[in-house]
């Protein structure tokens, strides 16, 4: 504080006490009898505050709880495999993951942080894009082997639900339009799922081909459990980290945000089993 600010603080304290606490003339400044009465009490109180804070800093941390909402698919395929790394760094923060395809209102208290899957940045909080996905046609090698020389275009197609009205959703109709095939608008989907996760499991099991997010099938592509079948890919969505501005400095929230940013920083991998995004990937979650 500046000397002027200190003078104002002292004047305010004297006004509150109703009497002078300092003799200002002649120099040097000294305490009045009222000041001598007040000083040891304040000094001892400040010392007690400092000692109590130091005890808290040295004491074992108590467990805290943090709730993160995200889509079911991102929770299962991306966030959960990373959680051992989170627990290693923050063992005293209990992380509760809420998987939902509904948009969670952070102001309602249902979650502290949201990892939102959206085409554009959400506007109901402070948001930043962590990663953006792209959609590839994929199939299991076992299905391709059983098909022999038959073109994969004739293999059973697997589809899953997207938000109604999203004209840019990565559907088979849109892929056919981009690829210039003659199957657009024709029946050809053998299986349709509500949950994207179920479609991915069906593809890995060799039950058909599907258009999948590289963010969600990255491990399966890297391990050879799935193969990408076409150079024609579709634009995807971003994973946005969303918080409330007024709560951004709350310790568990700040720590989780810093950690998830680090996990998705360029070129960074933190686990031999989790490879992280290898490509730059209407709101869900």
**CATH 3.40.50.880 for the 133-236 domain, yes or no:** no
Q: 157 by DSSP, 3-state: which?
A: strand
Residue 282's pLDDT is 41
Q: What's the pTM value of the predicted model, to 2 decimals? A: 0.70
How many angstroms separate the CA atoms of 261 and 110, rounded? 22
Residues 6+ apart with CB under 8 A from 110: 67, 69, 98, 104
Tell me the three-class secondary structure of 187-198, residue by residue: CCEEEEECCHHH
CATH architecture of the domain with range 66-132+238-263: 3-Layer(aba) Sandwich (3.40)
Domain map of the chain by residue range?
Answer: 3-58, 66-132+238-263, 133-236
Q: Can you tell me the mean pLDDT for 136-150?
A: 90
Residue 184's pLDDT is 54
Same fold for the pair 3-58 and 66-132+238-263: no
Write down the CATH number for the domain with range 3-58: 1.10.10.10
Residue 61's pLDDT is 53
Listed range (6-10, 66-70, 155-159, 269-273) with the worst mean pLDDT = 269-273
Helix orientation angle between 196-204 and 214-223, rounded to the nearest 10 degrees: 20
């Amino acid at each position: 504080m500046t000397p002027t600010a200190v003078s104002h603080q002292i004047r305010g304290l004297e006004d509150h006490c109703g009497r002078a606490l300092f003799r200002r003339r002649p120099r040097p400044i000294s305490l009045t009898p009222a000041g001598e009465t007040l000083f040891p009490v304040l000094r001892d109180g400040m010392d007690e505050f400092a000692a109590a804070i130091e005890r808290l800093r040295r004491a074992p941390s108590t467990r805290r709880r943090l709730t993160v909402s995200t889509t079911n698919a991102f929770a299962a395929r991306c966030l959960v495999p990373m959680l051992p790394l989170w627990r290693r760094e923050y063992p005293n923060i209990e992380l509760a993951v809420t998987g939902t395809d509904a948009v969670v209102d952070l102001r309602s208290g249902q979650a502290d942080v949201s990892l939102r899957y959206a085409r554009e940045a959400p506007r109901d909080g402070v948001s930043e894009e962590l990663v953006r996905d792209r959609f590839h046609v994929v199939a299991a090698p076992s299905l391709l082997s059983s098909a022999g020389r038959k073109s994969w275009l004739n293999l059973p197609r697997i589809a899953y639900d997207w938000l109604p009205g999203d004209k840019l959703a990565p559907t088979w109709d849109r892929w056919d339009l981009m690829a210039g095939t003659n199957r657009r608008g024709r029946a050809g989907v053998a299986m349709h799922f509500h949950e994207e996760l179920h479609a991915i499991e069906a593809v890995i099991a060799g039950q058909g081909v599907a258009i999948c997010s590289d963010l969600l099938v990255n491990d399966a592509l890297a391990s050879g459990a799935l193969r990408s079948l076409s150079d024609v890919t579709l634009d995807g969505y971003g994973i946005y980290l969303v918080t409330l501005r007024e709560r951004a400095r709350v310790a568990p929230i700040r720590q989780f945000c810093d950690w998830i940013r680090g996990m998705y920083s360029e070129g960074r991998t933190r686990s031999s089993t989790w490879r992280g995004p290898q490509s730059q990937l209407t709101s869900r979650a």
